Amino acid sequence: MDAGLVALALMDGVSYAALLFLVALGLTLIFGVMNILNIAHGSLYAWGGYLAASFGIAITQHGWPAALSLPLLFAAALLVGLVLGSVLEIGLLRRILDKDPILQLLVTFAAFMMLEDLQRMVWGGQPYFVSEVVNQLGTLEVAGVTYTRYQLLVLPTVALLAYGGLRLFLVRTALGRQITAVTHHREVATAMGVDAARVSWLTMVIGAALGALGGALASPTTSLTPGIGAEMMVLSFAVVATAGLGQIGGAGLAALLIGIVRSFSIYLLPEIEVLVPYLIMVAVLLVRPQGMFANVAARRI
């Protein structure tokens, strides 16, 4: 295999894995604390992407400084996390915390469908694509292959910072330790004085912002079209299931595995590219049904 092709596949795989990890990180955080698999999470990815693209178009149309391109990607993710995350948690998720998991899936799927329709009402069905920030950062050459700095440096760096920042927040801060306490046992944490409702709201906002950040960072390199949220939702679920539900660190390794193998399949066996994430997930779950990094829980009889 040509060295340039290997380098290109690795760089594509790492940059794609970074986006996939950000979305999966938000999804697994919400599940770990609230024990709800939020199907609407895919819509947050799409909303983050569309809002970031709208900001990019506004920069071009109004002649705003090009230096705002990158900060506005993060602003779009934060705005989606605060607004849609709060609406979903207060108006929906806290009302179904103790309901049957099947009902939770159905309700969050209904929320996903409504957010998808609202997205079409706001942005229509035309593709959105704004590459100003990618052009601004330029390219570099690795192993004879020219690649954008944005994909090679910015995306993995943001993913690593998001993971490290979240770990430090959970371990080093009082509020983070409250989130950890609720994750382990909600009732006991509440009995000890932890405001579980506030913890759930904060968790949802952070998780929603991470999902939206994946979409916002993807917007300069991906053509945004209706249905992109559903595609990312399924892929991020494959990452979470492969790593094990609630495994934050494991999600990063699972995303890297899926991203790199998928990237190589695009260049070598493009006909199976769509199947690769699910083949990896099935292979892992056949051997370890709880996921690669999840601990086997004792069964109470």
Q: What is the pLDDT of residue 81?
A: 96
Cβ atoms within 10 Å of 202's Cβ, excluding its own? 18
Tokens 């602003």, located at residue? 75
Structure tokens that stand for 287 in this block: 């051997």
- In this model, does residue 136 exceed pLDDT 70? yes
pLDDT tens-digit profile of 138-179?
Answer: 888 887 788 899 999 899 999 999 999 999 999 999 999 999
How many CA atoms lie less than 13 Å away from 49 in the CB half-sphere?
Answer: 30
Q: What is the pLDDT of residue 295?
A: 65
**Amino acid code (one letter) for 92:** L
Q: What is the pLDDT of residue 265?
A: 92
DSSP 129: -
Lowest mean pLDDT of 96-110, 162-176, 286-300, name the range: 286-300
Lowest mean pLDDT of 155-169, 212-226, 281-295, name the range: 281-295
CB-based contacts of 227, cutoff 8 Å, min separation 6: 116
- In this model, does residue 243 exceed pLDDT 50? yes
Cα angle at 277 between 276 and 280, to 5 degrees?
Answer: 85
Residue 291 backbone phi and psi in degrees, to 5:
105, 165
Structure tokens that stand for 290 in this block: 């709880």
